[in-house]
Amino acid sequence: MTIRYDSKVALITGAGGGLGRSHAIELAKRGAKVVVNDLGGSVSGEGANSEASLGVVAEIESLGGEAMAHRADVADIAAVEDMVAQTIDRWGRIDILVNNAGILRDKSFSKVSVKDFRLVTDVHLMGTMHCTKACWEIMKEQEYGRIVVTSSSSGLYGNFGQSNYGAAKMGVIGMMNTLAQEGAKYNVKINALAPTAGTRMTEGLIEEKAFALFTPETVTPAVLYLVSEDAPTRTILAAGAGSFAVAKIVETEGIWLPEEEQSPEGIAAHWAQISDGGERALQVGYEQSIKMLGQAAAGLGLDMG
């Protein structure tokens, strides 16, 4: 079965180059009408121009597709709302949102300024929220929506010199986990991409031979799947160099400690049991509460009915 997006409208942020450009072109090839968003700034978020986004629109149109450009700064909610309004005016709906825009201000935590920390989180985390918020009610009302947030191994696992970037990239996972629940009855699905790609954001960070393997085109199939009609929801899909894996946040089964051992010394004495065994991915936050309540009831011999 071929996955296509005929009659669907897709908004891709940061689509003037790299991953976003690849996502936009491949969605257009499969029938989607595409909004190519790009502020046109540098990797560090400085400057702005429309050349990159207009170039991608021209590429899509040369392939027989439909596209429009918008240079909204995703950190500016008013600009994002204008972009969404223009999209609705032209095509009447938004079915797919890929939050891809990002910048880097890498420095060790000792050296990073509060300003640079905030700027990175404003673009990656707040920018993702702005775009998702602007599309959310539209998708709910039409009872169809597919959203991708872009996370990173730096958020999931950490990377030296990227405390700001990592904080933002883990933040979008928390947002995804909640929105997957809130969007479920409206057929609005949301997933996360954790990509490794050779782009201007990673140039110089990846060895040259490896850089050549990590093309944006090897990541884009993951996005195409995550925004398809039969996509999963609340899934973190890692992709790079043609490899794909699902990342999961898991919690050990843990143990209940009697009152006399509910102390730091008690935790230390039972650390092996607490930290190992029974790992599973909880689906909603209250599952943790239910698990711990059950353990406490069992330990105290209570019937919770």
Q: Which of 142, 130, 152 has its CA nearest to residue 91?
A: 142
Measured CA to CA in angstroms, residue 31 lies from 4, 67, 149, 219, 298 at distances of 6, 11, 22, 19, 56
Residue 203 has what DSSP assignment?
Answer: T
4 three-class SS: coil
Neighbours of 30 (CB within 10 A): 17
Three-state SS sequence of 32-76: CEEEEECCCCCCCCCCCCCHHHHHHHHHHHHCCCCEEEECCCCCC
In sequence order, the 6+-apart residues with CB closer than 8 A to the CB of 271 are: none
Give CA–CA dist 65/32, Å, rounded.
8
Q: Which of 26, 45, 7, 22 has its CA nearest to residue 201?
A: 45
Angle in degrees, CA 227, 236, 205, rounded to 5? 105
User: Is 225 assigned a catalytic role?
Assistant: no
Give CA–CA dist 27/65, Å, rounded.
10
User: Residue 66: what are its φ and ψ, rounded to 5°?
Assistant: -115, 135
CB 116 within 8 A of CB 105: yes
Q: Which of 165, 186, 225, 286 is labelled catalytic? A: 165
Catalytic residue positions, numbered: 165
